[in-house]
Amino acid sequence: MPSIRLSERVTSIKESPSAVAADHVRDLRAQGRNILSLTVGQPDFDTPESICEAAVEAIKHGETRYTSANGTPELRNAIRQYYLRRYGRPCEDDEICVGVGGKQVIALALMATLCPGDEVIVPAPYWVSYTDMAIMNSGTPVVVETTEADGFKMTADELEQAISDSTRWLILNSPSNPSGAVYSTSELQALADVLRKHSDVLVLCDDIYNEIVFSDAKPKGLVSIAPDLANRILTVNGVSKTYAMTGWRIGFGIGPKALIGAMNKLVSQISSCASSVSQAAAAAALTGDQSAVGDMVQAYHERRDFAVERINQIDGLSCLSPDGAFYIYVNCAGLIGRHCPDGTVLGDDAAVSDYFLSQASVGTVPGTAYGLSPYFRISFATSIQVLGDAFDSIEQAIAVLQ
Ligand SMILES: Cc1ncc(COP(=O)(O)O)c(C=O)c1O
């Protein structure tokens, strides 16, 4: 077969490491191994019934055709209501982009704006796709390593130092995947003060987990705290995580008209629009009864408390208690350098994750994937039973290390 020459766009990036880890778990299960997976980046709940019914109704009413590139009027209306309710700001139709997941919205924003040499500031640990998305759109990621002591949050000083004449974007993800860190109002204010001095820098606020938080007060978005920066903030959100709708593939972005117009132009050429049926479901999710969200968040909260307590009791591991999302970024510095029963040494967090998979049959994602080591990420979007069994198994595997 003739070899196919691939573009630099694709050869310069890697496959999403969390997808690779999840595939690995799937392969081992197919071979008959009983693997406890803590790799999953999606809710383990089903999409609430009322949302599914709205989709069925949409099909029955013939809502099965292309929609406008920026979504149906019903979905745009639902997004406008959500933005007002959650961010305290009105927005217009031409400030809204509807994408095939928040992931596509982020990719479109970078595709619409980056030129070779443009820099994208990404605080680490970061969601695995930001850096590769920047690279595939000719940009250069500038990774700013945060510290556990700072709660895995970038400080104003660190931001100031990272900004150069080439900075095009800052990507902020709060609550964060993988750390669950949530920026407070004062922390965002400090970052906004720096951004005010650099008027060319755009800010992508990936708020996809902003409804999954464990404090009574929901965190405020940057655009609410610094409305004077609204003309360069793109707020990204979606229904995947909040409403257990990852497979429906609806995300949205709200931002300045010139940027949104460019992104919608790309939508019109790349995908025409997001699925009409999923848009109907997403509109129902955003405007309907929100009690199912509260129930899911309550369950995540209980699992978080359980998992944090267990992890901090395990020899060689420690973790902060995340304020949002459904991940814990576990410090495994205490295991590095220890010897496995076969004599090999755990040299880094990738080796620790491999060891847990082979010895404990537990799937985790190593910190190398997220740009900050030595850590690994676990997801607690799974039952307390699975979490408990996984921690028992990890504990036993650690006990035989020397
Ligand atoms: C931080 C973050 N942003 C964006 C996304 C994209 O979600 P979706 O494309 O399902 O809306 C994810 C999904 O894992 C995520 O973790």
Q: Ligand 1, residues 47, 126, 241: which to mutate, most atoms within 8 A of Cβ?
A: 241
How remote is the CA of residue 235 from the centroid of ligand 1, in Å? 13
Mean pLDDT of 266-295: 97
- Provide the pLDDT confidence category of residue 110 given band limits of 50, 70 and 90: very high
Alpha-carbon span 376 to 36, nearest angstrom: 15
Task: Quick: pLDDT tens for 4-32.
Answer: 999 999 999 988 777 788 888 888 889 99
Alpha-carbon span 39 to 258, nearest angstrom: 38
The C-alpha angle with vertex 115 and arms to 114 and 118, in degrees rounded to 5, equals 75
Q: Tell me, what's the pLDDT at 66?
A: 97
Instruction: Assess whether pLDDT exceeds 80 at residue 69.
Output: yes
Q: Tell me, what's the pLDDT at 41?
A: 86
Q: For residue 183, give the DSSP letter.
A: -
Q: Is 102 in the pocket of ligand 1 (CB under 6 A)?
A: yes
Task: Quick: pLDDT tens for 301-334.
Answer: 999 999 999 999 999 999 999 999 999 999 999 9
Q: Ligand 1, residues 18, 127, 183: which to mutate, most atoms within 8 A of Cβ?
A: 127
Q: Is 18 in the pocket of ligand 1 (CB under 6 A)?
A: no
Instruction: Assess whether pLDDT exceeds 70 at residue 299.
Output: yes
Instruction: Assess whether pLDDT exceeds 90 at residue 157.
Output: yes
| Ligand 1 atom at minimal distance to the Cα of residue 18 | 14
- Provide the pLDDT confidence category of residue 172 given band limits of 50, 70 and 90: very high
| CATH placement of domain 50-287 | 3.40.640.10
Which are the contacts of 322, defined by CB distance < 8 A and separation ≥ 6?
175, 179, 180, 181, 214, 304, 308, 328, 329
| Ligand 1 atom at minimal distance to the Cα of residue 206 | 3
Q: Ligand 1, residues 210, 240, 245, 246: which to mutate, most atoms within 8 A of Cβ?
A: 240
For the ranges 2-11, 88-97, 343-352, the lowest mean pLDDT is seen at 2-11
Task: Quick: pLDDT tens for 195-224.
Answer: 999 999 999 999 999 999 999 888 999 999
Alpha-carbon span 360 to 353, nearest angstrom: 10
How remote is the CA of residue 75 from the centroid of ligand 1, in Å? 19
Instruction: Assess whether pLDDT exceeds 90 at residue 344.
Output: yes
Dihedrals phi, psi of 74, to nearest 5 degrees: -65, -45
The C-alpha angle with vertex 249 and arms to 69 and 102, in degrees rounded to 5, equals 75
How remote is the CA of residue 2 from the centroid of ligand 1, in Å? 36
Alpha-carbon span 387 to 393, nearest angstrom: 10
Give me the amino acid identity at 152: F
Instruction: Assess whether pLDDT exceeds 90 at residue 161.
Output: yes
Greater confidence (23 vs 186) lies with: 186
Indicate the SS3 state at residue 76.
helix
Structure tokens at 155: 């400080």
Q: Tell me, what's the pLDDT at 227?
A: 97
Q: Tell me, what's the pLDDT at 294?
A: 97
Mean pLDDT of 141-163: 98
**How far apart, in Å, do the first and last CA atoms of the chain sit?**
50
Q: Give the residue from 369, 342, 304 showing the smallest Cα distance to 24.
A: 369
- Provide the pLDDT confidence category of residue 1 given band limits of 50, 70 and 90: low
| CATH placement of domain 8-46+292-399 | 3.90.1150.10
Q: Tell me, what's the pLDDT at 177?
A: 97
Q: Which residues pair with 120 in a beta bridge?
A: 141, 169
Q: Is 207 in the pocket of ligand 1 (CB under 6 A)?
A: no
Mean pLDDT of 113-130: 97
For the ranges 16-30, 147-161, 183-197, 336-350, the lowest mean pLDDT is seen at 16-30
Domain boundaries, the chain: 8-46+292-399, 50-287
Q: Tell me, what's the pLDDT at 20?
A: 81
Q: Which residues pair with 318 in a beta bridge?
A: 331
| Residue pair 262/112 in contact by the 8 Å Cβ criterion | yes
